[in-house]
Structure formats: structure tokens, C-alpha cells
Amino acid sequence: MWRRLAAIAVTAVLAGACVGPSRTDADYRNKAANAAESMLSAVETARLVVETDARGSSTARYTSLVLSESEDAASSVALSFEVVQPPSRAAVALREQVTGVFDEVTSTLSDLRIAARAGRHAELPALAEPLAGLRRALLDLTRLAPT
């Protein structure tokens, strides 16, 4: 577990370093939108595999692996966004909002991963329920930077 944490941290810091500081609000919103898009990918992957698992269409190991990877991806995105310095007070407010959503995502995915690894597959659909709402919240965030 420690190795995974270390790997996530290193990746996030490097990614954050590559992402670079934000100088304008528009730039910061862009970063938030991109991060939300990546988060959305992790959330949707988790939702899809839980749905597939609930139908009996997945193996225990596969489900565990996918959920674990989704959690890692989400954690890494969250960390690399948090490392970026918000350039203004308005941006700080945005940061609060975004990290609020991201934290919920990572904790939900974490719960899912733990349950799957422990073999408690019957609990997965219930644990995955918050993801629908989180999906909507993330979609709103991606619209911060219309592309």
C-alpha cells in the first residue's frame, strides 16, 4: 500500500510540476475542467464495471483490478490539481468547490475498491450510488472551460 501511495504521490507531483502554475483565472478554470474530465473517466469506468459485475458479467479479480485502477487514477488527478496554486481569491473559491467534489469521488472509489478486494461484491451497487450525482457535478465542472 505504501508503494502505491508513493507512486501516486510521485506521479501527481511530477504531473503537477508539468502542469505548472496558473497565472490567470481562465487558465485555472481550464485546469479544473481538464481535471474534471479525467475524473469523469475514472468515475464512469467504476460505474460501468460495477454495473457489469452486478449483472454477473465480470470476474471478481477483474472487477477488483478495474476499481483499484480507477481509484489510483482519481487520486492522482486530485493530487495534481491540488498542487496548483490558485491565482486569485475567486480561484480559491473554485478550488474549494472542485476539491470538495474530488474528495468525495476518491473516497467513494476507495470504498468500492476495499469492498471489492474483500470480496464483498454484493455491496458494490449500493456503494456506487453516489457516483451518479458525482458524475453530474463533474460534468458541470467540465463546462467551466467550453472547448
**Least distance between another protein and beta carbon 93 (Å):** 25
**Of 50, 73, 84, 127, the one binding another protein by CB under 8 A:** 73
**Least distance between another protein and beta carbon 139 (Å):** 8
Cβ atoms 43, 74 nearer than 8 A: yes
Task: Tell me phi and psi for residue 57, to 5 degrees.
Answer: -100, 15
**Of 12, 32, 35, 40, the one binding another protein by CB under 8 A:** 40
119 binds another protein (CB under 8 A): no
- The contacts of residue 131 (CB under 8 Å, 6+ apart) are 43, 46, 47, 105, 108
Identify which range of 61-69, 83-91, 102-110, 121-129 contacts another protein by CB under 8 A: 61-69
Q: CB-side exposure of 137: number of CA atoms within 13 Å?
A: 16
89 binds another protein (CB under 8 A): no
Cβ atoms 22, 87 nearer than 8 A: yes
**Of 61, 120, 136, 143, the one binding another protein by CB under 8 A:** 61
55 binds another protein (CB under 8 A): yes
Nearest to 19 by CA among 68, 89, 77: 77
**Of 30, 41, 97, 110, the one binding another protein by CB under 8 A:** 41
**What is residue 145's DSSP assignment?**
S
Cβ atoms 132, 43 nearer than 8 A: no
What residues line the site for another protein (CB under 8 A)?
7, 11, 37-38, 40-41, 44-45, 47-49, 52, 55-59, 61-62, 64-66, 68-69, 73, 147
